[in-house]
């Protein structure tokens, strides 16, 4: 079945550092890929998405490119801020699926 694997956390970085959170997936067909973010005490929020191969999703300085050849959707940001501290979830929705499959989440902490 479809699945998502993302790097285990926690990830701790200094402010203005470069961020990469790895995500790989297994799916049949052509799924859509998502990154969600959960700030403390809140629900998950859609951060960005890509619906076909080579698409790049971007939002709030975050980017991720849908790489079908490597079945990956890594999240990147060039310069993180303390306010980016949160849990990040990679997810996919298969072309024939009614529900989204979420990864286990990666906790990110940014120190000033």
Binding positions for another protein, rule: CB under 8 A: 30-32, 34, 36, 42-46, 49, 51, 89, 93-100, 102, 104-105
Per the document, the length of the chain is 112
**Shortest distance (Å) from residue 43 CB to another protein:** 4
**Shortest distance (Å) from residue 16 CB to another protein:** 29
**Shortest distance (Å) from residue 101 CB to another protein:** 9
Nearer to another protein, 35 or 77 (CB): 35
Nearer to another protein, 75 or 94 (CB): 94
Percent of the chain that is helix, strand, coil (3-state, to 5): 5, 50, 45
Nearer to another protein, 106 or 110 (CB): 106
What residues pair up with 12 in beta bridges, in sequence order?
109
Question: Is residue 102 a contact partner of residue 6, using CB atoms and an 8 Å limit?
Answer: no
Angle, alpha carbons 53-57-59 (nearest 5°): 175
Nearer to another protein, 80 or 94 (CB): 94
- Dist CA 56 CA 63 (whole Å): 7
**Shortest distance (Å) from residue 70 CB to another protein:** 20
Question: Is residue 25 a contact partner of residue 94, using CB atoms and an 8 Å limit?
Answer: no
């Amino acid at each position: 079945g479809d699945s998502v694997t993302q790097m285990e956390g926690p990830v701790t970085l200094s402010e203005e550092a470069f961020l990469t959170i790895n995500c790989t997936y297994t799916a049949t067909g052509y799924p859509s890929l998502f990154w969600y973010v959960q700030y403390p005490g809140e629900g998950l929020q859609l951060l960005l998405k890509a619906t076909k191969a080579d698409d790049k999703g971007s939002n709030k300085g975050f980017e991720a490119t849908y790489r079908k050849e490597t079945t990956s959707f890594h999240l990147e940001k060039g310069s993180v801020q303390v306010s980016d501290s949160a849990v990040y979830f990679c997810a996919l929705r298969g072309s024939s699926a009614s529900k989204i499959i979420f990864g286990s989440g990666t906790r990110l902490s940014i120190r000033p």
